[in-house]
Structure 1
Amino acid sequence: MTALFRVFRRIWRRRIGALIVGILLSVAVLAAGLALLGLSGWFVTAAGAAGLAGGGLTFDVFRPSAGVRFLALGRAVARYGERLATHDATLKGLADLRVALLEAMLRKPAVLLSRLRGSERLNHLTIDVDALDGVALRLVMPAVAAAVVLAATFFLIAWLVLPSVAVLEIGSYLVGLAAALIVAARASRKPSRLAQRSAQALRMRFIDMMRGRTELAVSGRLEDYRRSVLDAHQRMQHAQSRTDLVERISALFLGLAGSVAAGGALLVGGVAASEGRIDPASAALGFFAALALVETAAPLARGIAELGKMTDAARRIEAQFVDEPEAAPRRTALSPFASGDSSVISGHGLVYRRGNRALFEGLDFSVGRGETLALVGESGSGKTTLLNIIRGLVEPTEGIVCLEGLAIADLSEAERAARIGYLPQRATLVSGTIADNLRLAAPAAGDDMLWESLRIAGLDEVVTAKGGLQYPLGEGGQGLSGGERRRLAFARMLLRRPSVMLLDEPTEGLDVETACDILARLRSAFPRAAIVVAAHRAEERAWADRALEIRSP
């Protein structure tokens, strides 16, 4: 519940005025409903009693009927205003929460972000944020409004009818309300969580199926994916049906509590009326007010039934804020290797283990200005891992990597990004123009810089043939071939003009002539850059000045 409270505070702290207005209007709606039914019951009973007593001609029917119309219209207006104010504020609060979440994730260390599956995390966060729209609408505001109305009703019934009637009505109703909430909170926690998780699975599976429908159809697996989507949908419906059942059971408890309260009020009021302590109309007022009390907590039933999924969602949302941000650069001392090391990038005594297995150990290397080092070894030997260690995305088990005399671990993420360019195996492109994709690395870059990077990457003629920098790409770079996407990511990396370049299979998917041409252009354009390349092709190894073989011990 602590996480739920914190998320509620994040959503509503900038819109506390709208929350107060919503609560006041909710109170007005409930009060108007209670007054409407109570006044109507009193009016009908009083009019009938006056007619039986022969005083129908003198009975004032105009003011009570005007009161009934006023309460009916007022209730509708208050309901409309409450929905307008609270839903508008809720949607704006959730929008603010989404922005805050993205900002919090951007503050995390790159090593943590590199482990995330972007689409999966975005899907989970989207559904989790959507699940929190009921925190205020179906929990906080109905609970506060119900408490205010019940307290006010108690004093009004005690004043207008009898204190004993007020105690009986409110007491029995509170007992039934407590029973309903306890049952709902316990019985709905698991199914509401399952419904939330099934919704996430359904969304992910459906997106994956639609994205890969062509490949799935060709491989004959489309029907299997369709069945997995339907399976997630059925599990979500089953869990939702159980949640609905809990809500109906809660409503049954509330209805029984209302029946007990109404029956008790009718009995006590009838006895009091027969004894002459109150008139029949007042007894009817207490009876109909008891019937109307059920409405005060009806909005809470759904909120309590969804408490499980809202609590889980709040915990996952809060986890994005409580994770420690990247530590500030320490710079307590220079690396012990820095004083006599003239290289741009170097590694000393590097060891990396996965569990009990060492990928490599005792690795030393240094790359000076204008030098190229090729990392060679069998697939899975640790070449990509070493590049990630050099970039600062992965911490070595032992050893140290230095960039121009400073340990990589002592540099901030912004400093690493400004000085080290990295072309990973799986570079990401986004929907938008070619210029949009390039400017992800350098938002202020002019068109001339973009074209120069495209020329070095051997993609300038391709882009010209497609219509220029404003050529639109689909999701993941659709509109370009695999090799063209690779070269576009390469061109984007070059825009920062880094002094150190880390290239993981830079010519993958290119023919020999194109690969040799691009490598020659790169060195010609950046003659002073220190380059480390994970080389899988003979062309890449021949291009490098020297090689470092990586072998498992």
Structure 2
Amino acid sequence: MNRVDTLREVFARHRWRLLLAVALLLLTMLAGIGLLGLAGGFLTAAALAGALGAGATFNFFSPSAGIRALTLARIGSRYFEKLVGHDATLRIARDLRVWFFRRALPLAPARLGSSRTGELLARLMTDIGEVDGLMVRALGPLLALAGAMLATVLAAALIHWPAALVLLGLSLLVGIGVPVLAVRHGDAGEAARARHRTDLRTLAYEGLEGAADLTALDARDGWIARVDAAARQVAGSDHRRRARLVAGNVLHSACAGLGLLAMLWLVLPAFEAGALAAPLAATLLFLTVALLEAAAGCGQAWQALQSARVSAARLQAIVEQPPAVADPVQPAALPAQAATVSFEQVVFGWPGEPRRLLDGIDLQLRPGERIAIRGDSGCGKSTLSALLLRLWDPRQGAVRYGGIDLRDVAQDDWHRRIAWLPQGAPVFAGSIADNLRLGDPVAGEERMWAVLEQVRLTGWAWQQGGLSAWLGENGATMSAGQARRLALARALLRDAPLLVLDEPTEGLDVDTANALLTDLAAALGPRSLLMISHGHLPEGVVQREYRLQQGRLALLRP
């Protein structure tokens, strides 16, 4: 695995921004703690000077200048910390999504096919949302707080070393002991929370996608009840999470009260014994108050860290799946010209299942030939096309192109030789040109109009407003037949020597399907065609038809 493709590297790419954000947060904390401590000592000295009468004196200018400087430093550092921190978080959020797509897309459809769409959506949105704020919401505050505690303890040691020991013990207690105690066993809770949120998102997504079917089957109420139950589980897990945080805050407050009493018990005898001046004793008390205030959000930071760790593990569980196929170390070169595709005694069954979907398949597709594979649903037709696309490798036998085993070829090289029209090929939200350029990113307008003419969509495209016409989500402005023709135009625009169609007329009426297939036969030119279909094909569309049954091919029409 390339170093650039690790989750850690996504954060490392922005390490200087993250370090600057942590440094600014540390400066903000130190300025706030120093401001409260200095102001407390200054006010105490001023009050004592006023009580002692006109003859009493105290240093007015140095503390007041320090207070002004710390105030300005706190305002400036807080502003720039928010600016830099949010900038880094947004950049990381962008790069995390790119990283997830880059790692997950090679797993589609073979590996990702086992994951529900709503679950993948939860990974992409919820889990990445938890991980992208890891530094700003969790590690950054914890690191800055550790630095602020250390600086405060050192400052207290310069004033009165026993006070430094009290602050050190208090820092360890409220910074580590209390939060860890509050979030103990929280990994299981965070994992359950993530799982419940995924279930809710999946049910909501699938309910919206299948709203028409649920209505037709009078199953909407039952589905809504399932969504409500999932929502209650999410609410329950969120409630337990808040309860852990509240318990930590209560424990923090109790420790803070005891810590202040301990500091007061320490500085009062020192003041009475003359070992500590009153302003310095007040400074130590106010330093303790400021440190406890800065540590108040420690429990939330620990909880955010826990949640980010669980979400990161969920993301890794998706992208670290082994790919179904792998490129050879030294890929073989494919023939420059169109060549014969051959299946030689191919055997395939899904991993972990003893059943053989394909059992000794022999098939040849020569350059320019058009063949169709027919059969009942579930007989293995789409599996055969998946082997040709090299989404999977056969258990036994080989799929060859020009005599070269596809397992010896780089996947990118092979995929450049294929144009694929899958079952239910989507129309993406965008313009006509945007959808066509998925087949050829550098296609010019003249070529796009030519391929639209091949599939008889020119008149429709002009009526819509030309190539820049907006098609809407899932081709909302198109009929089913128009959407199929546009997807076919996209495949033809690829100009690959081999065209693979998987149920190209699924969901179309007979007249529309026959018209589409007839136009397809005329538009193919010298391309080879492998068509997967369970319906009747008009005369002249293919040259040979096979039937796939019980894992074997039988020739129907030569």
TM-score range, shorter chain: 0.7 to 0.9
More displaced stretch, 191-200 vs 437-446: 191-200
1:384 alignment partner AA: S
In 1, distance between residues paired with 2:208 and 2:278?
68
Question: Match of 1:36, SS?
Answer: helix
2:17 alignment partner AA: A
More displaced stretch, 170-179 vs 325-334: 325-334
Does the CA-based 8 Å contact 1:176-1:256 persist in structure 2? no
Question: Match of 1:358, SS?
Answer: coil
Change (3 A) 1:119 1:476: farther
Match of 1:221 in 2: 219
Does the CA-based 8 Å contact 1:192-1:307 persist in structure 2? no
Does the CA-based 8 Å contact 2:100-2:319 persist in structure 1? yes
Question: Match of 1:473, SS?
Answer: coil
User: Which residues in structure 2 correspond to 1:262-277 (within 5 Å)?
Assistant: 262-277=260-275
Question: Is the counterpart of residue 397 in structure 1 residue 400 in structure 2?
Answer: no
Does the CA-based 8 Å contact 1:266-1:284 persist in structure 2? no
Q: Report the aligned-residue RMSD.
A: 3.1
How much has 1:510 moved relative to structure 2?
4.1
In 1, distance between residues paired with 2:276 and 2:329?
81
How much has 1:310 moved relative to structure 2?
0.6
Does the CA-based 8 Å contact 2:452-2:458 persist in structure 1? yes
User: Which residues in structure 2 correspond to 1:381-460 (within 5 Å)?
Assistant: 381-460=379-458
Change (3 A) 1:457 1:204: same
Match of 2:367 among 365, 369, 381: 369
2:257 alignment partner AA: S
1:379 alignment partner AA: S
Does the CA-based 8 Å contact 2:137-2:304 persist in structure 1? no
How much has 1:424 moved relative to structure 2?
1.9
Question: Match of 2:279, SS?
Answer: helix
In 2, distance between residues paired with 1:212 and 1:129?
26
Match of 1:236 in 2: 234
Question: Is the counterpart of residue 48 in structure 1 residue 47 in structure 2?
Answer: yes
Match of 1:538 in 2: 536
Change (3 A) 1:473 1:120: farther
2:38 alignment partner AA: L
Question: Is the counterpart of residue 344 in structure 1 residue 319 in structure 2?
Answer: no
In 2, distance between residues paired with 1:494 and 1:117?
31
Match of 1:29 in 2: 28
In 2, distance between residues paired with 1:446 and 1:426?
26
In 1, distance between residues paired with 2:489 and 2:81?
54
Match of 1:90 in 2: 89
How much has 1:158 moved relative to structure 2?
1.8
In 1, distance between residues paired with 2:409 and 2:112?
17
Match of 1:182 in 2: 180
How much has 1:117 moved relative to structure 2?
5.5
Gaps of 5+ in 2: 552-558
In 2, distance between residues paired with 1:397 and 1:417?
21
Change (3 A) 1:390 1:115: farther
Match of 1:134 in 2: 133
In 1, distance between residues paired with 2:356 and 2:319?
34
In 2, distance between residues paired with 1:112 and 1:273?
71
Question: Match of 2:136, SS?
Answer: helix
Does the CA-based 8 Å contact 1:243-1:306 persist in structure 2? no
Match of 2:556 in 1: none
Amino-acid identity (%): 31
In 1, distance between residues paired with 2:496 and 2:457?
20
1:24 alignment partner AA: A
Does the CA-based 8 Å contact 1:392-1:408 persist in structure 2? yes
Match of 1:164 in 2: 162
How much has 1:432 moved relative to structure 2?
0.8
Match of 2:79 in 1: 80
How much has 1:444 moved relative to structure 2?
1.5
Change (3 A) 1:55 1:269: farther
How much has 1:334 moved relative to structure 2?
10
Question: Match of 1:388, SS?
Answer: helix
Change (3 A) 1:116 1:395: farther
Deviations 1:192-223 (A, max 9, x none): 33333333333344344445545544543344
How much has 1:234 moved relative to structure 2?
2.8
2:429 alignment partner AA: S
In 1, distance between residues paired with 2:212 and 2:389?
36
Provide the TM-score with structure 1 as the length reference. 0.88
How much has 1:189 moved relative to structure 2?
2.5
Gaps of 5+ in 1: none
Change (3 A) 1:307 1:189: farther
How much has 1:60 moved relative to structure 2?
4.7
